[in-house]
Structure 1
Amino acid sequence: MTPRQHLSSQHHRPTLIEVSWPRCSVVYGCTGRAMEPFKGCAAHLRPEELSRVTRALRPGADLDLRGVTVPADLLAALLDAVTGPDRRPHLGRTRFDGAVLPPKSSLRGACFEGDSSFDGTCFMGSVSFFDVRFLGHVSFRGVRFAGNASFHGARFQRHASLDETVFAGDALFSEARWGADASFARAVFFGAAAFDRADFGRDAELQAACFGGAVSFRRVRVSRHARFERARFRHDLWLGPMAVGGRLCLTDVVAHGGLRVHAAARHVTARGATVRGAAEFRLRRAELDLEGLEVEGPMTIRTLAQPIPGVREPETTDGEATTVRLVSLHHTTAASLELEDVDLTRCRFLGLELRQADRLRLSGCCTFSTSAGSRWRRGGRGGRAILAEDAEDAEDVAPGSDDRERARELAVLYQRLAFATDGGLSRDFRYCALEIRRRTEEDQWRRLLLQLAWLTCGYGQRAGRTVASMAVLAVIVGGLIVYGGVSLPGRMHRPVTVHPHGRQHRAANRHPGSPNPTPSHGHER
């Protein structure tokens, strides 16, 4: 019974995966599968036997070369036998598991109509999958490419797995298209890796991948998530310009050079990442999380106001802001930090460490939370810019509380932001620092003096409120003078008496014990 008859006789076995094939016994140690009705595998068939096999093949036929060391002429003969009128080799269910393919192998333009498996295959030299079509699932798990591998223009209709694949040379995936997920988990790229103008239909998964050469992701589009968690880059990592419909994840990435992300994405996270050079984020419509990021050089975050040329951005809802929303700089370390046109209303700044303390700069339109509900201000006028850590509605910090150290850090951060900004924003931060100092002063007398200065001199208040406080104080003092019986120093007026006949006499000053003065009536009788 032929393998195809055996397959059709058992309906519960729909593929050739479970069909038992005899191994080649021509050469001791050969792991290739024997080709019925012959006893040898494809590599050990006699010329007339191979001729009979190739004549029986048609476009779309299944091909099983598991464990076979395939010579170049055998591969060419098999591909010629399945080539269709469109001059493309058409293969059905194809299995190259554990096979060894010769240098300069070419599957250019081939169409794999069924599922394909290359698990554990070794390509002894360069290989070309240029313009190949994979209509079914394809797996390159554990494949070893000894030379350059070209998948330029390849089309992957379903899931494609290249997990734990080793590329000893350059890997070219430019203009490749994936209809479903593409997984490169734990893959190793010793040479350059190019994904320029690639299109991922769902997720692009490169978790724990290692890149020893240059990496290029220019004008890439990912429909859902681009995942680079725990990936290692020996040189610079330049991502973009690219568009990501979901999350661009750079968690725990290590880049021994610089990092540049130029993308339109919904969420970008680089938690716990390490960058040995400079870091730059130029984003659109993104929520950015940089908690725990360590950058040895300067870091810049900018909002792209205009669409990225040559990149089709993901669909957005009407009225959605294009501004980058930075959500966390907690425990982030960098030499300097520059923010331009960034939304900071929910950003956590505490724990931010800059090696150059005076190199924090804010430019453009950077927005912050307002003072409504600030834990340090009660009953004050709203509208003052504050940090997200200060926006919670909580009770004042009690003396000796564990939260007092956090308050001091917040005051220092306000002072640094005051130096980094100008205009009304700088004044707001300076007032917030003074307000926290007044609320958290440990010494009772100093706290009382600061409270008195707040009431009388406008300590930590805007100029308008200071003038109003001084005006109220002046009115109170004036009222005390007029209605409280307070005498002004100066010349005192003597009382005036009125004579019954209409004459007035001014009482003379006299010393105690002197006789009463004789009243004068103006004439003597």
Structure 2
Amino acid sequence: MRPIEVAAGAPLCLAHTDVGRVEAILARLRPGGEVDLRGTRLSADLLRRVLGGVRSEGTPVLGDANFTEAVFADDADFGRTVFKGATRFHGARFERTAHFDEAVFEGDVTDFRVARLRQAAFRWARFDADVDFSDAVFHGATVFADAEFQGAARFAGARFRPNPGQPTTVSFTGAAFAGVADFGRVWASDRVGVDFTGASFASADQVGPLGAERVVVDRVVFGAAVTVELLATAVSCVRTVFEQGVTLRLRYARANLERASFAGPSSVIGDESGADTAFDPLPTARELDFDSGALADLVRRDRSDRPERLWAPSVTSLRGVDLTKLTVSDADLSRAAFAGASNIDKLRIEGRSRFARSPGHRVLSLRSRRQLLAEEVAWRVTRRRGAAWRKRAEEIGDELRPPSPEALATLYRSLRKAQEDSKNEPGAADFYYGEMEMRRHAPSTLFGERVILTLYWLVSGYGLRATRALLSLAVTVALAAVALHRFGFAAPGLGFGASAVYTTGAAVSLEPKLFGTVVLTWPGELVRILVRLCGPLFLGLALISVRNRVKR
């Protein structure tokens, strides 16, 4: 369709038309005609009359539409408008709401770069070609729910800001991205969350780096191998499907990966600040446009170069996840729930990933600390194990549902194998300790087995506490020396020192002739036999404990 002309060869341009001629110009509008409103300040009434002039069967239809640097003083309602040609809102400013619900953009160019939009709504909008929102600024609730992006969707450098004093959500729920989805260095101010629930990314290989207080990626389907880079305080990937795998690079976030599907080789990586990382450099407060809040505090402290592991993300749940193809690197697993996950023994744990630590308790005057699962902490709190365990539960979060000791023993056994396969013997030793602890406390454990396990724990910490084994040896030697001094020697007159030397030698020596012709009473012989049995046993347990701690 030919453009509507004001003068020969000149397309319609209200920005440069006298007020007296506006009525005549609007009367000449036709569906599909070109409209040039560059730099025009549009009231709601004027916009309504422009769109009314291009209606076809009740639907506004525009050809090439140029709204570059236009100012929309009132609510701008482009709902159900069809843009058939090149559409340009470059640098446009929407001072009130911007409604594009069910709008259709059919042209090869859709340009919203550097635009400033308030309460923008693109529900069920369809973009048949590339659309560019680079460096645009969105104020207030922004909705792209169920929008269709057939070409590239570019939001690089966009900013999302909240309504003053109110939490705000940027919604891409149910949106479909068929091509490139460029969210590079998109920053949302504090109190702003970005929600992609139910969206689909058919071929995007990169999403982010994107920063927001919270990012929700629940039930999203990624059709291609993708790298997702997020800076946030909370990330939710519940039931997310990664059909070809994912590299999920996180900073600060507590990430919930419950029932996520990792069909291809995947990794969850903590992104440390430094050269060549996703968030290098970190955004400034000016970029993020916030002064307070959880995310603001983290970024501010992170930029201060304090020696803290602020950057390390925390995985809070792996329930229901098949871990066969997953690698976790440089992440905090101290809050992670593993119950219900499958193929835990195939999980690869690398870098500076860490688990929860026991609060430390005294056994025979020795403090014993180890790595453990958050679910064990929750279980011990249910047994009222004291203030130290309750404090640790508060640190990692008390919302976990404690599994049974039998289930915990299975989890520890699988994680032990995973650590052994990664050649991390000290880590495997801690999980072996946890497995034995759960077996000892399990109601299904037989009484005789529980007694053996309790003795094994008491004298050597399941063969993992060298100091406890040596202390057990020392106590055995001391008690045996007292016994021999009182009734063990046939010849009277031997002092306690001689008894101590004799029992020590019996504990560590295999050659009794070293002790000469000392004659023992029959109770003394029983004591000597006991010492000869326990001494090598405790020494062996001590050596095994040391080996388990230093072996790689």
TM-score normalised to structure 2 length? 0.68
C-alpha change, 1:157 and 1:55, in structure 2 (3 Å) is closer
Q: How many aligned residue pairs are there?
A: 427
Secondary structure, counterpart of 2:247 in structure 1: strand
Q: Which residue of 2 aligns with 1:341?
A: 330
C-alpha change, 1:294 and 1:329, in structure 2 (3 Å) is same
1:425 equivalent among 424, 427, 448: 427
Do the aligned residues in 1 keep the contact of 2:417 with 2:428 (CA within 8 Å)? no
Do the aligned residues in 2 keep the contact of 1:70 with 1:99 (CA within 8 Å)? no
Which structure carries more relative contact order (alpha carbon 8 Å, separation 6+)? 2
> Structure 1 residue 225: deviation in Å?
1.0
Q: Within the alignment, does 1:193 sit opposite 2:193 as a pair?
A: no
Cα distance in 2 for residues equivalent to 1:158 and 1:63: 32
1:228 equivalent among 196, 201, 219: 196
C-alpha change, 1:137 and 1:455, in structure 2 (3 Å) is closer
1:163 equivalent among 107, 111, 123: 123
Amino acid at match of 1:243: G
Q: Which residue of 1 aligns with 2:467?
A: 464
Q: Which residue of 2 aligns with 1:302?
A: 269
C-alpha change, 1:63 and 1:341, in structure 2 (3 Å) is farther
C-alpha change, 1:491 and 1:301, in structure 2 (3 Å) is closer
The alignment's C-alpha RMSD in Å is 3.8
Q: Which residue of 2 aligns with 1:445?
A: 448
Between 1:215-224 and 1:436-445, the stretch displaced more is: 436-445
Q: Which residue of 1 aligns with 2:349?
A: 361
> Structure 1 residue 69: deviation in Å?
4.7
Do the aligned residues in 1 keep the contact of 2:408 with 2:435 (CA within 8 Å)? no
Cα distance in 2 for residues equivalent to 1:134 and 1:344: 45
Q: Which residue of 2 aligns with 1:151?
A: 111
C-alpha change, 1:396 and 1:197, in structure 2 (3 Å) is closer
C-alpha change, 1:425 and 1:57, in structure 2 (3 Å) is same
Cα deviation 1:254-293 (Å, max 9, x = unaligned): 1122342212211111112111011222222222111121
> Structure 1 residue 129: deviation in Å?
2.2
TM-score normalised to structure 1 length? 0.71
Cα distance in 1 for residues equivalent to 2:403 and 2:71: 67
Q: Which residue of 1 aligns with 2:175?
A: 209
Cα deviation 1:288-344 (Å, max 9, x = unaligned): 111121111222222222162355255225657222122122222243332222222
Instruction: Report matched runs for 1:22-61 at 5 Å.
Output: 57=19
Amino acid at match of 1:88: G
Do the aligned residues in 1 keep the contact of 2:406 with 2:438 (CA within 8 Å)? no
> Structure 1 residue 63: deviation in Å?
12
As a proportion of its length, which structure holds more helix? 2
Q: Which residue of 2 aligns with 1:316?
A: 297
Runs (5+) with no aligned partner, structure 1? 1-42, 80-86, 494-525
Do the aligned residues in 2 keep the contact of 1:271 with 1:289 (CA within 8 Å)? yes
2:478 equivalent among 475, 478, 483: 475
Cα deviation 1:237-267 (Å, max 9, x = unaligned): 52212222x1011111111223422122111
Q: Which residue of 2 aligns with 1:390?
A: 376
2:89 equivalent among 126, 129, 132: 129
Cα distance in 1 for residues equivalent to 2:403 and 2:89: 63
C-alpha change, 1:187 and 1:354, in structure 2 (3 Å) is same
Cα distance in 1 for residues equivalent to 2:479 and 2:24: 100
Q: Which residue of 2 aligns with 1:520?
A: none
Amino acid at match of 2:180: A
Cα distance in 1 for residues equivalent to 2:83 and 2:269: 44
Runs (5+) with no aligned partner, structure 2? 53-57, 163-168, 289-295, 303-309, 386-401, 492-511, 521-552
Cα distance in 1 for residues equivalent to 2:423 and 2:351: 8
Q: Which residue of 2 aligns with 1:372?
A: 359
Cα distance in 2 for residues equivalent to 1:162 and 1:104: 20
Q: Which residue of 2 aligns with 1:175?
A: 135
Secondary structure, counterpart of 2:316 in structure 1: strand
**Bigger radius of gyration, 1 or 2?**
1
Do the aligned residues in 1 keep the contact of 2:324 with 2:346 (CA within 8 Å)? no
